[in-house]
Amino acid sequence: MSQCLCEGVQRPKQSHALLVEQGVATPCSVKIATTPERRFAMTNDDCDTVSFAGMTILLVLCSYAKLSLHMQFQRREHATFLQRDVRKDFMTLENNLSRTLELIDLCFRLKEAYIRQLQPQASPEKIRELIYQGIRARKEKQWTSPEIFLKH
């Protein structure tokens, strides 16, 4: 515990010593050394500590500041974690979209191959036309089916 030169003069020794120990005040000697002419005529202004009531407030504020920093840090960590999670989720969705498109692509490539096998003489344009006709026909069937009217 640092020696306090103002002890017994203006402040309760314990208050200043505690603040010095906690690093929120410098020992009087340090400050007084910068004002040597007042070395032996100390007033409240010369002592760089605070009153007991002030110290309590300071300590409470310090505690809050520490707690707040801790909470902010925690929140930030949490936010980073959440961001990472959201990013991961969106990557999954993008991957799903790619796989869905690949699947659709695969289905129609297989259909193309199937039609080509059924009609080897058909041109690629004809095969394309047949596939699109199929898509439209299936849709038409869906739309005109009484079941759809009941379900929708």
Partner 1 sequence: MDIARDLFETLKSVCALLHDAEVKCCLIGGLAVGILAKPRATEDIDLLILIEENKLPSLTVLLKKKFEVIQERNIMHFEKATIYRTILGSPAADKTGLVIVDFILADNDLYREAVLNPLNLIVDDVIIPVAKHEYLIKIKNLSNRPQDLLDIASLKEVLEKSGI
Amino acid letter, 60:
V
Among 90, 113, 126, 141, binds partner 1 (CB under 8 A): 90
Q: State which residue, 77 or 105, has the beta carbon closest to partner 1.
A: 105
- Binding of partner 1 at residue 152 (CB under 8 A)? yes
User: Taking the CB of residue 5, how many other CB atoms lie within 10 A of it?
Assistant: 20
Cβ–Cβ under 8 Å, residues 25 and 52? no
Among 99, 114, 119, 141, binds partner 1 (CB under 8 A): 99
Pattern 5-44, partner 1, x by CB under 8 A: ----------------------------------------
Listed in sequence order, the residues at least 6 apart from 108 whose beta carbon sits closer than 8 Å to its beta carbon are 131
Q: State which residue, 52 or 90, has the beta carbon closest to partner 1.
A: 90
Which single residue is written with the structure tokens 């394309």? 128
Report the alpha-carbon distance of residue 82 to residue 89 in Å, rounded.
10
- Binding of partner 1 at residue 147 (CB under 8 A)? yes
- Binding of partner 1 at residue 53 (CB under 8 A)? no
- Binding of partner 1 at residue 143 (CB under 8 A)? yes
Cβ–Cβ under 8 Å, residues 23 and 2? no
Q: State which residue, 62 or 131, has the beta carbon closest to partner 1.
A: 131
DSSP, collapsed to helix, strand or coil, labels residue 11 as strand
- Binding of partner 1 at residue 105 (CB under 8 A)? yes
Report the alpha-carbon distance of residue 55 to residue 48 in Å, rounded.
12
Q: Which residues bind partner 1 (CB under 8 A)?
A: 90, 93-94, 96-97, 99-105, 107-108, 112, 124, 127-128, 131-132, 135-136, 138-139, 143, 147-152
